[in-house]
Amino acid sequence: MLEQSSSVMKNIILVGKPNSGKSLLFNQLTGMRQKVANFPGVTVELKSGKLGEHTLIDFPGAYSLSTLSRDEEIAVEKIHEAMHDVNTAVIVCNLDATRLERSLVFGLQVRDLAKQHDKALVFALNMIDEVGRFSHQVDCDKLSKDLGAAVFPLSAKTLVGIHEFKLALNEVASQPEKYIPSQSVPDDDSVFNVSRLIAKQYGIHADIVLKQQNTIDSFLLNSVLGGVAFFTIMFVLFQSIFTWATPLMDGVENIIGWLAVAVTSVIGPGVINDFLQDAIFGGLGSFLVFVPQIMVLTLIIGLLEDSGYLARAALICHKPLSYFGLSGRSFIPYLSGHACAIPAIMAARTIESPRKRLITMMTIPLMSCSARLPVYALLIAVLIPNTTYLGGLLSLQGTAFFVLYFLGIVTALIVSVLLNKFTDNDSDKAEMPFILELPNYRLPHWKPLMLRVITSAKQFIRRAGPVIFMVSVVIWFLGYFPSSEHDLQGSYLSMLGQWIEPVFEPLGLDWRYGVAILVSFLAREVFVGALGTLFGIEGADENIAGLAENIQADGLTLGAGLGLLIFYVIALQCVATVATLKGETGSKKIAWGLFAGYGLLAYTSAFIVSHIF
């Protein structure tokens, strides 16, 4: 069978424990820009990519074939399926060279399973560069003999040995029968004993690896100093979203303004000129100005992930979150929710407790995702003066950003307490203890990190751009006609807007903001593009890239503006999130109930705030 099918495309599966560099190795081997995170439970779905003439499949991470959590169950189920699949040519087991004993527990189990099913297996001894940093060397030839399978030293971070490993994998896949493991763990022994003996002979002494880690952890995990460090890091994160991105935003705004003048001056006056100014540069252009903030947010979260801090943050947050009916594992989906609620809701699958998993998923939409960034940035620029302190390191606008994000988190915790009181907790009577591996501290690898930043911007534009373009075109058409004289009050859109204005008038907002709020259900960031088109039609002769200045000149009151901000902090204005909640919870009632409940809470809160200020 193997000889007959050796010429066709085969599958090479990649397995290993979490935090072992497996996902980064997958990226380097296939060239795919997959998200890499330094905490358990990120890869809960299979990822595949081309490797020469074969397909490389990245399996979810697991610590053992004897599962303790749902994410491990998924991984082990897929591994057993692959062992029975005739298209599986090679199994690559990724080992962490700095923590050899822990990696070998799972590695030896997979090796024995491969031998049982006559599958080829090789070991990738990853992070070999860090072993050298501790002045240690691994005799891979002797290790291969002791393991009964080929061992390839490499570093997915520095690319050491990656090219050679690619060539070797194609060779192994073409002749898999030559790489079936020759050894297995004796029946009277255990993988724990064998892995301990092998690691003792070839691995780094644990005290050497943990010495530096424990020194840093003594500060970051301290009951007092650790909490201070956590809030400082979070404050810097949200402060940087506005402060660091400002020069880039100004640059994008200047480019859009320059393009607008250059293009419209060539075309000359007319309908096409007005369309380009109002719908394209006024609507879509106003949205593009805020893309740098998405990139900064991705960069900061990526630094925390790759450095190993996020696992510590989850540990720090476990006890406080438990008071609200959550788990330390809820922290990771919560933080991911600040990028996008959809993958964050899916990441909640790794929470073992069904009740805590459900509560986490139901409150993730209250995290201020990246789609809210353009809305926040626009309204903060309108309402908050651009005052800086400490030589520009601290800004009043950046502090306002932090307050909005913090308000979303606090609201989520309050809702969690209420949900915890009204949800069934019978399934949690035999709940497992909170267990989390703390990865080594590492310097981030800048190339994949920057690729991740660029990819996040592309995905954000690709996801929201077409929607904003279509909405901008429709709004421009309805707002431009029938008069064609920039008379917004006499347009079709104004006629429609009068119907909904009574709903938003109590919030101090006119029909233009009402229209923008309604269409933003497609995607929150559409709010900015819609307003950009509306104000562009009304003030076509003004600076079309300066939407904040146009809103300020229009006279948006402080109360109405703050109320609008509060509305977007709480409201579930995203149809994709509602669909994801329906899929993950299996309940239309929960998904649409949250949409209605958060919408009512957002409206009430905005009404109160608008009348206080």
pLDDT tens-place string over residues 50-90? 888 888 988 888 888 887 666 677 778 888 988 998 889 99
Band of pLDDT at residue 216, cut at 50, 70 and 90 = confident
Number of domains forming the structure of the chain: 2
In this structure, is residue 354 part of a structural domain? yes
In-domain check, residue 215: no
Same domain? 529 vs 407? yes
Distance CA(387)–CA(373), nearest Å, equals 20
Tell me, what amino acid is at 66? S
Instruction: Look at residue 5 and tell me if it is in a domain.
Output: no
Place of tokens 């307490």: 417
Q: Are residues 173 and 247 in the same domain?
A: no
Environment class of 265 (CB within 10 Å of its CB; exposed 0-12, middle 13-18, buried 19+): exposed
Do 134 and 255 have their domain in common?
Answer: no
How is residue 184 written in tokens?
């297995």
In order, the DSSP letters of 459-502 are: HHHHHHHHHHHHHHHHHHHHHHTTT-SS-GGGSHHHHHHHHHHH
Alpha-carbon distances of 234 from 182, 297, 340, 403, rounded to whole Å = 51, 11, 17, 11
Instruction: Give me the percent of the chain exceeding a pLDDT of 70.
Output: 84
In a domain, 223, yes or no: no
The confidence score (pLDDT) of residue 497 equals 80
Whether residue 348 sits in one domain with residue 200: no
Q: Which of 204, 219, 252 is the last residue of a domain?
A: 204
Rounded to an integer, what distance in angstroms lies between the CA atom of residue 486 and that of residue 156?
58
User: Mind listing the pLDDT tens digit for each residue in 242-299?
Assistant: 677 778 878 887 888 888 888 888 887 777 887 887 777 766 776 677 688 778 877 8
Q: Are residues 397 and 259 in the same domain?
A: yes
| Domain containing residue 141: CATH number | 3.40.50.300
What mean pLDDT, rounded, does the chain reach?
Answer: 80
Residue 210 inside a domain? The answer is: no
Enclosing domain of residue 45: 11-204
**What pLDDT, in 10s, does the model give residues 92-139?**
999 988 888 888 999 999 999 999 999 999 999 998 888 777 677 888
- Residue 4 included in any domain: no
pLDDT digits (tens, 9 = 90+) for 551-572: 888 888 899 999 999 999 999 8
Looking at the fold, whether 197 and 267 belong to one and the same domain comes out as no
Residue 200 has pLDDT above 90, yes or no: no
Same-domain status, 15 and 92: yes
Together in a domain, 541 and 582 = yes
What is the pLDDT at residue 43?
43
**Which residues touch 433 (CB under 8 Å, ≥6 apart)?**
none
User: CB under 8 Å, gap of 24 or more: what pairs does 253-262 form?
Assistant: 253/289, 253/545, 253/546, 254/545, 256/281, 256/285, 256/288, 256/289, 256/545, 257/543, 257/544, 257/545, 260/285, 260/544, 260/545
**Residues linked to residue 50 through DSSP beta bridges, in sequence order:** 55
Angle 235-298-461 from CA coordinates, rounded to 5°? 130
431 belongs to a structural domain: no
Give a yes or no: residue 169 inside a domain.
Answer: yes
Domain match, 270 and 363 both = yes
Query: Nearest CA to 174 among 9, 333, 361?
Result: 9
Domain co-membership, 270 together with 173: no
pLDDT above 80 for 480: no
Domain match, 247 and 292 both: yes
What's the pLDDT tens digit per position in 224-246? Answer: 888 888 888 877 776 776 677 77
Q: Give the end of a domain, one of 204, 237, 269.
A: 204
| Cβ contact 364:345 at 8 Å | yes
Check residue 4 and give its pLDDT: 38
| Cα(388)–Cα(386) distance, integer angstroms | 7
The closest alpha carbon to 296, from 236, 382, 384, 342, belongs to 236
The answer to whether residues 41 and 74 belong to one domain is yes
Q: DSSP 3-state assignment of 221?
A: coil
